Structure 1
Amino acid sequence: MLLNRFSRLVYLGDSNADTGNVFSMTNGTGPMPSHVYWNGRYSNGMMWVDHLNSFGPSESIVLAHGCATIDNSIVSGTVAMPDATSSEVPSLTDQISLLLAKVGKLSPEDLVFVFVGSNDLNSMITDGPPYIKKQALTLRLLATRLQQEVERLCLEVGARNAIVMSVRPREDYPGVLALNDPAKLEFTRQATSEFNAMVCQDMAELQERLGSSYRIGVFDTYAFQKRITQDPAAAGIDPDLQTPCNRVAAESAQAPDKQIVVPLSNPETKLFVDDFHLAKRAQGLLAAEMVRYISLMLATEQCAAQQ
């Protein structure tokens, strides 16, 4: 199998890659309600991470946390705790430090996924919880810090294979559309596009600077989701893209006392499980697309080596 050429798969980032860290951190009280979120995931079934792990190497490390940002010294994400307080989750910066403490140096055969940035952008249109802003935010600041952290991941922790995943099209999130604020919607559209372009350019620059002994790719998660929304039937997705499986207010996902049980709407075919996160069919499609991307990345490298 393609992924078995790697010794370990490592996942850093936010709820898009969290397979239970916030669930553990909150003693099983988030994300909620439990009948919606499968095994502490921010989805109603297996996530793309679970799919990759099921046919990849036997060992994986998942340090991603729901609501995580790039760097807590810029803006931090928080989750509700069982005692009604809130707690900061480890940002990408913290997760890299945790990874270094956990494994020391990575093997050259490890593959690291970095999926972060959405919460940073969300904090630019949201005041107050779950975000704590500590600096004036700009897209350039966020993209530069992300590049710095990926470089640190390579040089300090020893990652030789890294895939940075672009931010999904946040302008299509039911939670953003529900704001009914055209100015915020347009800002979100432009900010997501500009941030992703900066990240793509910055990672290409980092790849050139580090040289051919490193492999740094950018997976276009934005384009992946846009293809689904442009032709949902082709992807087996319910064409009602604005109605998620679960219509409970988004904040209940982090509220231990809100076990609101309502029937799920088309859980097998919906694009979104809630106002922000992909449902299980889309997660499977994302995993398949990621496998194709990795296959192409490896084939391109092999062709270059033969020239």
Structure 2
Amino acid sequence: MDWDKLRIFHAVADAGSLTHAGDKLNLSQSAVSRQIRALEESLNSTLFHRHARGLILTEQGELLFDATSAMSKRLDAAAARIRDSEEEVFGELRVTTTFGFGTLWLAPRLPKLYEKYPDLKVDLMLEERVLDLPMREADVAIRMKEPSQADLIRKRLMTVRMQLYASREYLNQHGIPDGIDDIVKHRLICQNTSAAQVGAGALLVQTLMGHNPQSLLTVNNYFGVLQGVLHNLGIGVLPDYVTQDFPDLVHVMTETESADVPVFLAYPEELRHSQRVAAFKDFVQDEIIAHRKQLRQQGKI
């Protein structure tokens, strides 16, 4: 099969337009159209439905687009390995993690990474969906569970627990709860039970709900929960790593917490020798060591 025709087909399928694909490939619309017709003839299949508003893939086109997408990601991975210098750290690094960890822990620490590697370009993708690392949807992932995908290098970074926190001002106004039964006198701030979250956190929320909190504020991520707590709205369920950067939060109902949640860093086997990945991994590990040291100094662990 002609690789050049496949490259043009992929661009057309991705753009949904002969014109837009031609602009991207620096080819005329007629040249792109001829290549697509030739590919269809060689496969004896129609790859696109032609509409006034653009092109839509046929079932056969979808199958071929899946294959060219996989090829494109593999080629990107090979190019990334080739571009990696043995001595320098530069270029793009796509990092994925959860919204909570990314906003509350990772992003505030990135200035240190950029200070050391000013030519690095980090694309931070925050979402609960687990991206496919072997298919190069991202280069590195930090997840709240051990990745199950094959061909990944994994490293356990730390353990997190979901605990209960409130502001000093809120506690001065509403009193300090003695135990879980006292949640009936307070407003609970937590992730919505239907929101994507780690199982241990969901179980803790369900337990608290069973004790009939006086009032409730649910949010679909931990950043929103933290904002509610900082603005004195109630007692929030938050990961314990927030205590370093928000030392004024008060840990309440200390016997009520989630089970351990392991935090893993993972990346594809094919990026084992990537200098960008190595630099990011070392940075995260150093920050975790510093994080735990500060917590020990504060008497929190």
- TM-score, scaled relative to structure 1: 0.25
Compute the TM-score of the two structures, normalised by the length of structure 2: 0.26
More strand by share: 2
